[in-house]
Structure 1
């Protein structure tokens, strides 16, 4: 049992270390810079939208380099709809990254099957607005109301409520995508297989040993009985000669 205890502790420690290493494995792409300097993972945007226009009009060298790659990539890295882009990410097995607005990105990653993630920070910052007719008297009240909601944190609370609290992939993890899972019995099942195998082998050895000893004991008793049968005869013969 001391040997089994030593084995199970060693196996548990080794499996736990490997398990946590896999859980905390860092993605090879952590930023737009990482994406731009490699060609193994393709990346693209919605074929018509603000994200594509952002790259097309950007004067920043990094984004211009990314745009040059995207417009010349074969097959095309652009998609017709966001749903198509997300589906392409899921089917690519890590070989395609879809660039889209962070709000939509964060919403999608909180929906089943929970197999997508946002990588890196935002490429730029822009907000959403409420359109009103030109010269409308509603413009100023709406602007003030939106600013007030933002200052009071109401907009952030609403986003957390509908994006994360009602999400299907668990609570938001403080901006970190690392999740720690429990080490299940299947992760250390090998130890118990060894135990069962060891018990089976021990029982087989015990059975063989029992049979061997029983046979040896039977032979010993048979020899002893034969010796007893011989001894009286020898004694009688000795008396006759006397």
Structure 2
């Protein structure tokens, strides 16, 4: 559900209901949707409309939304406009959803390849080093931990050297890429907060405190220690840290950068225009449906030889009924091309010939054939 905002999902559901209902109503008003295919001239209409028409309209919208199609195809111009604009709507919605879904999956699966010092020790593609001659270098050199011993052997064996003479050069080497710089946490925190292209990976490798050196037996030792503890309990040290590390005015907005880098749900500002297009298409379809209704009522009025207002009232009365009968009264008209007759042609009996005239039968009758090719004739030769 994340690729689309909550309001977009609600609008899609509302559009689904509105389009389905609109197509259902238009189909009731349009005479073209009442054809009883494949027998358009059947004298009785089946219960197809009443039993399955409503479900078919919703099924058509559902199948189109899921790009599967439906067995029902609109016939009238108004319903075809609704179907076409709904196809366009679903094309944009599904394409936007698919594209943003890929973005969500990509962002969620993207992870930093190095999460800790152990990850650095397991690979050799990314080089890492420390300040040459510094306390961090001494820590790795004298460490008894297997992971840190392995890292020290790697740093010591690399040529050119991975050690840098100062912190500025180490930072620049990190910015060039494919290099990790191990440094003291206090200075690391200060630099990372001022350069959004840098990030701290993992926690502290070793923890050491800072102290103030004094002569042995100095009376200031206990006083300064108690003062530092008092400042820690009152939060003054944290306030000083925030003042000189975070609130100096040159700290980058890392939170906003992190927020922008994530995929966000699509809202009205992104795909709201497709809803406007859908409403415009529905409005056009309604106008076309009204024109179809008036045109069909006019033709039916001429056929039934009644006034246009009466015909429109009958059609409208039938269309707005919630529980329509299986047969539609407006379809009681018969189709001329379906009127057939089973009667066969029977020729009239022959008349008696005049006196002295010879009766000549057709050749087909003389041969005993059952077909009649024409009427009987008289041969007037030798007639008085």
Partner of 2:258: 179
Flag the 1:9–1:161 CA change in 2: closer, same or farther, 3 A. farther
Match of 1:35 among 113, 120, 123: 120
Q: CA RMSD of the aligned region, Å?
A: 3.0
1:6 aligns with 2:90: yes
Partner of 2:233: 151
Task: Write the distance in 2 (CA, Å) between the matches of 1:14 and 1:160.
Answer: 44
Task: Write the distance in 2 (CA, Å) between the matches of 1:42 and 1:98.
Answer: 9
**Counterparts in 2 of 1:41-190, with a 5 A limit?**
41-92=126-177, 95-112=178-195, 114-166=196-248, 168-170=251-253, 179-181=258-260
> How far has the Cα of 1:135 moved from its partner?
4.0
> How far has the Cα of 1:146 moved from its partner?
1.2
1:26 aligns with 2:73: no
Flag the 1:67–1:162 CA change in 2: closer, same or farther, 3 A. same
> How far has the Cα of 1:134 moved from its partner?
4.5
Match of 2:100 among 13, 16, 19: 16
Superposed CA offset, 1:62-100 (max 9, x none): 1111111111111111001111101000012xx110001
State whether residues 194 and 251 of structure 2, in contact with CA within 8 Å, keep that contact through their aligned partners in structure 1: yes
Task: Write the distance in 2 (CA, Å) between the matches of 1:81 and 1:12.
Answer: 50
Unmatched 5+ stretches in structure 2: 1-84, 265-270, 275-384
- The structure with the largest helix share of the pair is 1
Superposed CA offset, 1:5-63 (max 9, x none): 33433343334334444545210010111110110110000002110010011111111
Q: Work out which of the two has the higher radius of gyration on C-alpha atoms and give 1 or 2.
A: 2
State whether residues 107 and 263 of structure 2, in contact with CA within 8 Å, keep that contact through their aligned partners in structure 1: no
- State the TM-score, normalizing by the size of structure 2: 0.42
Flag the 1:183–1:136 CA change in 2: closer, same or farther, 3 A. same
Moved over 6 A (4+): none
Q: What's the secondary structure of 2:180's corresponding residue?
A: strand
- State the TM-score, normalizing by the size of structure 1: 0.65
